Amino acid sequence: MKAEFTAIIEAAPEGGYWAMCPELPGANGQGETPEEAKVSLREAIYLILEDHGEDVLRGLPDDVIRETVSVG
């Protein structure tokens, strides 16, 4: 699945860069370059969404219908 998110990247006062995603609170990244900060942010977004998906599926009954839908 492909999804696009906004990356806000700023220079960090102590050096390097930090990145955040306004659509996903808690998704932050950092790096020595803007590209490294973006890669770090991408990893954070992936981990947050993966954890959220696993959390939602825990405890569902065995007979639940699970399908995939496409958006966009």
CATH of residue 44's domain is 3.30.160
Residue 21's pLDDT band, with cuts at 50, 70 and 90, is very high
Residue 43 has pLDDT above 70, yes or no: yes
Query: Quick one: average pLDDT of 35-46?
Result: 98
What's the structural domain count of the chain?
Answer: 1
Query: Per-residue pLDDT tens for 48-70?
Result: 999 988 888 888 898 999 888 88
Residue 2 has pLDDT above 80, yes or no: no
Structural domain of 69: 1-72
- Is the CB of residue 8 less than 8 Å from the CB of residue 19? yes
Pairwise CA distance, residues 25 & 29, whole Å: 12
Query: Quick one: average pLDDT of 10-26?
Result: 97
Pairwise CA distance, residues 17 & 11, whole Å: 4
